[in-house]
Structure 1
Amino acid sequence: MIYNSHVGGNICINVLTKSNGIWEKECVMCLREVKSQQRSKDYKSYFIQESYRNKKGLRAQTIYNVAALSEEIQELMRLDLHRKRISEIEDLRLEEQSNFRDLAVLRETWDWWGLEDVLASVKDPNKTKHLQALIFGRILFLCSKLFLKEEAWGTLLEQACSLEKSEGFEEEGFYREWMGSAGVWSRIEHELFRRASHGRVRLVLYDLSSTYFDGEDPNRLARYGYSRDYQEEQPTVILSMATDAEGIAVHVEVHRDNRSDSTTIPKLLVTLWRRLGIAKAVFVFDCGTRSLLSLEVLMGMERGSVARATWAQFQELMDKLSLDRQPELWDRTKRMDVEKDGLWYIIAEREWLAKRYLERQEARIGKTKLLLEEFKRNARKGEDAFCLDSRVGRMLERCKAHKYIRYGIDRKVRFWWKLHEEESAKEEATDDRYLLETNLLPTEYSAKKVLAHYKNLCEANQAFCRRFPAYWMTARLVAEWSKRGVFKHVPRLLRRLQTIRPSLLSVKGKPAACLLIKISRKLNRLLEKTASLPAFLPAAGLGNPGDSS
């Protein structure tokens, strides 16, 4: 039980506890006013003091110094302790603020890293704002540039990037800003590299991929389309990207002509050395690149490499290994090192890969069962066995389930089939594993580091659809948050922040407090770990919901 009293002119809060049916005073909390004089000036300070009694006697301690609070808060505390009405109901107003706090987090990160200075080489302020909107849009809305106008409708993206409503996100404006950054791109890239790595890059990951531009453009930029797909009606465009060991991109380059890795890598090395001062790099390739650029070529260039081998190479290596070294179904080792024929192989495990392979295998077998039952019902009597075998074989090839099925014709010329369980069990034992081959020396690189390099490449492949600065911000956030113990997908975590409803409590038109509504303990811990809580304060607000278009 708590009640108020006045002791020596001080406002007190008395806390009583009930023991054996009798109320006993446990402690007394007082709001004390202390006056002092220094150099002929009078000063007042207020603090909350707690007095309590224990076995050793009467004790007192200062809980909080109220002098640091504003005069409005101090007045509210006095009124509350006097049991007086703080304000009339009509004077209170609870206004829900914008819930687009994902934009607030990105804007605060943008200001904290000083990315405004990175785009200083873009002289036109409107181009800088549009580029910032494109970067934020790539992180928050997984869509192309032309659909950003629809995805950003009703949000505060324009306000976060200081854009006027009349400017909007028109297609011509996007391509104009895209082309406007071409002349200053090397300076932007150099600034991003300097801010992320501080010149300490010792490893470079590389990948070569393709992309396309959509929409209509008077500069004919939209004509550049898919590459390596043998589409003669569309010229090709190739992207090459290099990242550091943490997966943060340090270089990206667009090639208009179709090329292979053997012609791109030497030029990329010259660019990295000339622009960023990187003289040595380790190249990491995805599955399929091994046929285009062999390890012998890289060894002749004195360059290290890590490449994912094909499934056929994986099975060939398994057949060469002795039975005691082959991974079994019950062996869930995360990593296995093998040296064979002068090369170092690493067999790694990925949990989601097993799930994907299992779902694909079940889908293929299920579809094949239905077709085989239908084929068995409609099989013609007296049909030639060779023709029947050819028809079933073609059908199984189309379903990609030839290795899962055994079939034939019995003595009564009847068609039969069954599942090949041994092949399914053999595939299940290795369906969550993939093979990496490298020319690096085990004495210089650990298997864990090689595996980490390939995982960084996989993350870079997924981010190719975004613009380079957007991927730079995402990878930088991942690196910063992982140091704080948060391993979450950046766009997914930012979308979760939209569930929080910040509200501003005003008394007689003056802001009194900021309330956070619908925030769970788990999400609150994430905000504290990622240091994103300041983005929810009124000073970081992006405006009211009514201000959005």
Structure 2
Amino acid sequence: MYLQEVRTRQKGKIYRAYIVRESYRVGKQVKTRRIANVTRLPEEAREVLAAALQKKRLVPVEGLEAQEALDYGGLAVLEEAWRRFGLEEVFAGVGSERKQRLLKAMIFGRILFPSSKLALREEARGTLLAKACGLEEKDLEEDELYRAMDELNGFWSGIERKLYQGSQPQGASLVLYDLSSVYFEGEGPEGLAQYGYSRDHRQDRPQVLLAVATDGRGIPFHVEVLRGNRADSTTLTGLLVTLRRRFGIQEATFVFDGGMKSWWNLEILTGMELEYVTRSTQTKLREILRRLPEDRQLWLTDRTRVLEIEHEGVRYVVAGGEWRVLRDRERRQSRIAQGEEVLHQIAKAARRRVDPVDVGSRVGRALQRLQAHKYFQYGVDAGGRFWWKLDQERVKEEEAIDGWYLLETNLPAAKASGQAVLTHYKQLAIVEAAFSELKSYLEVRPVYHWRPDRVRNHVRICFLAFWMSARLGAEWVAKGFTEEVPKLLRRLQAIRLVKLSLKGQPLIGLFSRIPSELNALLQKIDLLSLFASPPKWAM
């Protein structure tokens, strides 16, 4: 039996009748007969009748109660990605099954609510984190999390190899490499934490260096934690050896910034028959441009063009952009203004018959700190008075090349045009974005661990979280979605799983209403199916 709605139109009006009908068979024919007309029943009663005829389970509203409502959306996406990316197999053998689940919880936690190990249990309260990892909330205890993290020791190279094979089945043809720094609160672990050049502008804190290699899509496949006082140029050789031994990379183009460029590094790359793209110095750029014939120098008026030059047997690409002109000009003007202010103060404070060595040292340090030393000339005259002036010739030299920069490569022109070389270098911005996400969204900075192995493993947990984020991001970009992955996953956490019970007994799980804008996003990136019905692990 079923409830049928019958519509009739009379004099422009629509009339509805509701009939209970029953199907029956006569020979091979299926016929129906009317059982009752229930049009006069209240609408609510008709809905109950329709549900009963469909053999749906009916319960009194008074007996229903919401047992709990837990944040679900972002975890659902991560759980599906964990399974699809084969991460169960990646961590197979890393400690016990329970410790593997704790590692999974720390990785998910890093993406959705970055916090300390101590705070993870509190942050996970009201969410399905524990269930998504096959745990209970009480399992997220600080000491247990640290012991699970310690299991990464001795397994990391194998984990990286599996991640690389999963994300790079054809191997990486383009390797983007860059460095950043992370500082410590306190002294940090002895031997690893050192004072050095800080990208976080915290020279007052000991630090470590993070070296990250990604493919052309921005998916990372290698991370290394180095002493905080290592020179950038000394880190590349070890990377090349690791990438060849661990990942079997025999042919690839390496892209890295000028800080890692040295004669020795370029010789090693060439000797290993590897190609490279890197940035050269502005001094080298000025030298090359001075030797250009006049007709080619006219090209420099159009900063949208790419100029290829061979100089002393080396291939160079000169590139620029109008926005770089403004940036270079504003940066120079700011440094000059700060330098002039410091020099005015020093001149005002300097007494007659100043010590030339002392004042020279003070001025030099102050201008170097402001990166303005090259713009000024200064000294002490015969009368012992301190003097200074702006080096106008140096300023004019820089103005002539505002917006331009110089790339050096051993890629043959037949393999990569000047524009292709420039595109390779611009992809370094992907690594810079990776560091931004790794250090900000995933809260790597600052580090509070005191054991070298735990510092490394803390960074590795963050790296694994970023690897998942980057894999998802690459998939979503292909579907036209460019928002930062952690931001969207955290927004999706607003979708909650509400568990209903009847007289204290679990009954059913329902999702909270999905806002229309999120519903459209989920449909765009093919994730709406995750919210059709609650999965078994969530119940």
> Normalization by structure 2: what TM-score?
0.66
1:12 aligns to 2:6 (yes or no): yes
Instruction: Give the distance between the partners of 1:236 and 1:416, measured in 2 at CA.
Output: 37
- State the partner residue of 2:298: 324
How many residue pairs get aligned? The number is: 476
Cα shift readout 1:342-361 (whole Å, capped 9, x = no counterpart): 33334556899788767755
Q: Which residue of the other structure, out of 74, 99, 107, is the alignment partner of 1:102? A: 74
Instruction: Give the distance between the partners of 2:486 and 2:127, measured in 1 at CA.
Output: 16
Percent identity (aligned): 33
1:188 aligns to 2:182 (yes or no): no
- State the partner residue of 1:439: 410
Cα deviation for residue 440 of structure 1 reads 0.6
3-state DSSP of counterpart to 1:131 = helix
Q: Which residue of the other structure, out of 402, 411, 418, is the alignment partner of 1:430? A: 402
Q: How does 1:55-204 map to 2 (within 5 A)?
A: 75=47, 78=50, 90=62, 97-99=69-71, 101-141=73-113, 156-170=128-142, 172-198=143-169, 200-204=170-174
Cα deviation for residue 336 of structure 1 reads 2.0
Cα shift readout 1:66-86 (whole Å, capped 9, x = no counterpart): xxxxxx9x9569489xxxxx9
Identify if the C-alpha distance between structure 1 residues 263 and 165 changes in structure 2 by more than 3 Å, giving closer, same or farther.
Answer: same
Identify if the C-alpha distance between structure 1 residues 180 and 209 changes in structure 2 by more than 3 Å, giving closer, same or farther.
Answer: same
The answer to whether the 8 Å contact 2:476/2:525 transfers is yes
Instruction: Give the distance between the partners of 2:274 and 2:218, measured in 1 at CA.
Output: 19
Cα deviation for residue 160 of structure 1 reads 3.1
Cα shift readout 1:431-481 (whole Å, capped 9, x = no counterpart): 5x6543211112112433523653444455554854243232122112111
3-state DSSP of counterpart to 1:181 = coil
Cα shift readout 1:115-135 (whole Å, capped 9, x = no counterpart): 222212225012101211232
Q: Which residue of the other structure, out of 469, 474, 482, is the alignment partner of 2:469? A: 474
Instruction: Give the distance between the partners of 1:162 and 1:303, measured in 2 at CA.
Output: 45
3-state DSSP of counterpart to 1:516 = coil
Cα shift readout 1:201-226 (whole Å, capped 9, x = no counterpart): 1515164758789799xxxx954524
Identify if the C-alpha distance between structure 1 residues 309 and 502 changes in structure 2 by more than 3 Å, giving closer, same or farther.
Answer: same
Q: Which residue of the other structure, out of 234, 259, 264, is the alignment partner of 1:288? A: 259
Cα deviation for residue 177 of structure 1 reads 2.5
The answer to whether the 8 Å contact 1:209/1:238 transfers is yes
The answer to whether the 8 Å contact 1:97/1:501 transfers is no
- State the partner residue of 1:6: none
**Comparing 469-478 with 445-454, which one deviates more in the overlay?**
445-454
Amino acid at match of 1:249: P
The answer to whether the 8 Å contact 1:242/1:252 transfers is yes
Instruction: Give the distance between the partners of 2:184 and 2:359, measured in 1 at CA.
Output: 47
3-state DSSP of counterpart to 1:479 = helix
Identify if the C-alpha distance between structure 1 residues 316 and 169 changes in structure 2 by more than 3 Å, giving closer, same or farther.
Answer: farther
**Comparing 95-104 with 502-511, which one deviates more in the overlay?**
502-511
Q: How does 1:287-366 map to 2 (within 5 A)?
A: 287-291=258-262, 293-321=264-292, 322-326=296-300, 331=303, 333=304, 336-341=306-311, 342-347=313-318, 364=335
- State the partner residue of 2:192: 225
Cα deviation for residue 482 of structure 1 reads 1.3
1:450 aligns to 2:438 (yes or no): no
Instruction: Give the distance between the partners of 2:327 and 2:8, measured in 1 at CA.
Output: 64
The answer to whether the 8 Å contact 2:71/2:126 transfers is no
The answer to whether the 8 Å contact 2:210/2:225 transfers is yes
1:494 aligns to 2:489 (yes or no): yes
- State the partner residue of 1:205: 175
Amino acid at match of 2:81: T
Amino acid at match of 1:287: G
Cα deviation for residue 484 of structure 1 reads 0.8
Identify if the C-alpha distance between structure 1 residues 350 and 159 changes in structure 2 by more than 3 Å, giving closer, same or farther.
Answer: farther
Amino acid at match of 1:339: I
Instruction: Give the distance between the partners of 1:387 and 1:215, measured in 2 at CA.
Output: 37
- State the partner residue of 2:513: 516
Identify if the C-alpha distance between structure 1 residues 502 and 436 changes in structure 2 by more than 3 Å, giving closer, same or farther.
Answer: same
Instruction: Give the distance between the partners of 2:321 and 2:116, measured in 1 at CA.
Output: 30
Instruction: Give the distance between the partners of 2:6 and 2:373, measured in 1 at CA.
Output: 85
Q: Give RMSD over aligned pairs.
A: 5.6
Cα deviation for residue 304 of structure 1 reads 0.8
The answer to whether the 8 Å contact 1:248/1:472 transfers is yes
The answer to whether the 8 Å contact 2:374/2:394 transfers is no
Instruction: Give the distance between the partners of 1:350 and 1:542, measured in 2 at CA.
Output: 53
Identify if the C-alpha distance between structure 1 residues 421 and 116 changes in structure 2 by more than 3 Å, giving closer, same or farther.
Answer: same
The answer to whether the 8 Å contact 2:178/2:211 transfers is yes
The answer to whether the 8 Å contact 1:159/1:542 transfers is yes
